[in-house]
Amino acid sequence: MFFEFALIGTTASGKSELANAIASEFEAIILSLDSLCVYKEINIASAKPDKTALERVEHFGVNLLSVADKFNVALFFDEYKRARKRAFEFDKALIIVGGTSFYLRALMSGLSQNVPESTTPLSNDAIFALMSELDKNAKIAPNDTYRLRKWLSIYENTGQIPSEFQKKSLQEPLIKELEIFELVVDKENLRQKVEFRTQNMLKMGLVDEARALFAKFDESLKPLNSIGLKECKDFLAGKITHAELATLINTHTMQLAKRQRTFNKKFKRVQICGDEALQSRMRIWMRLCRHSKKLNVWILSRSLTAELIPLSVQTVYIFPEERHKE
C-alpha cells in the first residue's frame, strides 16, 4: 500500500541515516529535501548518502544537476511527482527527508506562478528597504537573499505588490495531508554531532573537493557559497587557518540549525528524540503500522523489529484486531 511521510530536523541531527535505515528495512523510496544533494559534483560538503546507500535504497532528488545549473522549487515539484509515481506504481512507501523544509512547505501550501529571475544588481539592504516601503504584508528577513530576490523578481516582472500577487496566483498544493516527524536533538548533543561531522568531512577531503569546484565553476554560484564550501574558499585564499576553517564551519552549521528549528515550527509534526535512535525508529514504525496491514505483517516477519518492539506493543499496534479477540 502506497503512503508517504516526512522526516525533518536540523542539519547533522541524523535524519538521513534514520530514513535510510527505515527505507532499507521496508524497501521504501526516499525523496531528498536537500538543496545541495541535487548537485552531482558536491558530495562531501552536502553530506550526500554514499554510493552504497544510494545503491541500496532508491533515491530521488539526488545527483540531478551540475553546479552550473539552476535548481528551484518548480524543479523540486517535478522530482516529487516522479518519486510519488514510482512509489505508487510499485506499492511502496515514500519517505521525504531533509533539512530544506522550505520545499516541503511549498509542497503543502502550493506554489505561486513562476516569474523570470531579476538581474537588477541591488543589495539585500536595498531590496529590503524597497519591500518595507511597498509591501507591508511581506515577512522576509533582511538576510534572506533567496526570498528577497524572489520578491524583487515578482515586483519587476508583474508590477504588482508581490505578497498580493502570490496570493492570487497560488496553485493547488501537491500534498494536502502528510504525517510529519521531526527528529529533535538537544543543543549540546547536536554541537558534538556537528563537530564530529566537520572533522569527518575534512578527513574525507572537503578542501580538495572545494578546490576542484572553484577551479571548474564560477565561485559566485549559489551552491559554492554554502556552508563548508564558502569557508574552504577563504582557507584556500589564505584568509583563515585550518583550525579557523573547522571552527567557522561548526559555528555556521549551528546557526543554520537554529534557523531550521525555527522554520520547522510552522509544521504540525510529531517530535521524536534524536538521542534515542532505537525509540525513534520504534515510534516511526508504529506510526507506519497504522497505515497498512500488509506492512504490519511485514514488520513482524523481520526478526530485528520483532526483537525491538515489546510484545504488548505488537498486540496493541501491530495486530489491533487480535486485541479485540482477547
Whether 160 and 179 share a structural domain: no
SS3 per residue for the chain: CCEEEEEEECCCCCHHHHHHHHHHHHCCEEEECCCCCCECCCCCCCCCCCHHHHHHCCEECCCCECCCCCCCHHHHHHHHHHHHHHHHHCCCEEEEEECCHHHHHHHHHCCCCCCCCCCCCCCHHHHHHHHHHHCCCCCCCCCCHHHHHHHHHHHHHHCCCHHHHHHHCCCCCCCCCCEEEEEECCHHHHHHHHHHHHHHHHHHCHHHHHHHHHHHCCCCCHHHHCCCHHHHHHHHCCCCCHHHHHHHHHHHHHHHHHHHHHHHCCCCCEEEECCCHHHHHHHHHHHHHCCCHHHHHHHHHCHHHHHHCCHHHHHHHHCHHHHHHC
How confident is the model over 6-16, as a mean pLDDT?
A: 93
Residues 313 and 319: beta-carbon distance below 8 Å: no
265 or 169: whose pLDDT is higher?
A: 265
Is 245 part of a structural domain of the chain?
A: yes
Whether 158 and 105 share a structural domain: no
Is 279 part of a structural domain of the chain?
A: no
Whether 194 and 223 share a structural domain: yes
The residue whose grid cell reads 518519486 is 83
Q: Please, which residues bridge with residue 93 across strands?
A: 3
Judged against a pLDDT cut of 70, whether residue 94 lies above it is answered with yes
Residue 244 domain boundaries: 3-109+174-272
Residues 194 and 248: beta-carbon distance below 8 Å: no
pLDDT of residue 63: 98
Is 317 part of a structural domain of the chain?
A: no
- What pLDDT digit, counting tens, does each position of 29-58 carry? 999 999 999 999 999 999 999 999 999 999
Give how many domains the chain has, as a whole number. Answer: 2
Residues 53 and 20: beta-carbon distance below 8 Å: yes
Whether 8 and 154 share a structural domain: no
- Sign of the torsion formed by the C-alpha atoms of 43, 46, 50 and 55: negative
CATH code: domain of residue 89: 3.40.50.300
Whether 64 and 180 share a structural domain: yes
Minimum mean pLDDT range among 93-102, 251-260, 282-291, 301-310: 301-310
Whether 155 and 13 share a structural domain: no
Minimum mean pLDDT range among 18-32, 111-125, 309-323: 309-323
Whether 158 and 179 share a structural domain: no
Give CA angle at 157 (155, 162), nearest 5°: 30
Give φ, ψ of 162 to 5 degrees. Answer: -55, -40
Residue at which a domain ends, from 257, 272, 287 = 272
pLDDT of residue 147: 87
26, 56, 167, 231, 263 from 244: Cα distances, Å: 42, 37, 45, 9, 29
Q: Please give the distance of CA 269 from its chain centroid, rounded to a whole number.
A: 15
Cα–Cα nearest to 160, from 207, 192, 113, 223:
113
Judged against a pLDDT cut of 60, whether residue 306 lies above it is answered with no
Whether 164 and 179 share a structural domain: no
Whether 98 and 181 share a structural domain: yes
Q: Please, which residues bridge with residue 97 across strands?
A: 7, 32
pLDDT of residue 317: 31
Residue 115's pLDDT band (boundaries 50, 70, 90)?
confident
Is 299 part of a structural domain of the chain?
A: no
Is 217 part of a structural domain of the chain?
A: yes
Q: What is the pTM of this model?
A: 0.80
Q: How far apart, in whole angstroms, are the C-alpha atoms of residue 44 and residue 48?
A: 7
Is 313 part of a structural domain of the chain?
A: no
Give CA angle at 26 (52, 96), nearest 5°: 75
Q: How far apart, in whole angstroms, are the C-alpha atoms of residue 187 and residue 185?
A: 6
Residue at which a domain ends, from 272, 298, 314 = 272
Whether 180 and 245 share a structural domain: yes
Q: How far apart, in whole angstroms, are the C-alpha atoms of residue 273 and residue 129?
A: 41
Q: What is the mean pLDDT of the chain?
A: 85
Residues 16 and 98: beta-carbon distance below 8 Å: yes
- What pLDDT digit, counting tens, does each position of 136-191 carry? 999 898 988 888 999 999 999 999 999 999 888 888 899 999 989 899 899 999 99
Judged against a pLDDT cut of 80, whether residue 192 lies above it is answered with yes
Is 54 part of a structural domain of the chain?
A: yes
Whether 145 and 267 share a structural domain: no
Cα–Cα nearest to 284, from 45, 18, 9:
18
Residue 283's pLDDT band (boundaries 50, 70, 90)?
low
Is 241 part of a structural domain of the chain?
A: yes
Whether 148 and 237 share a structural domain: no
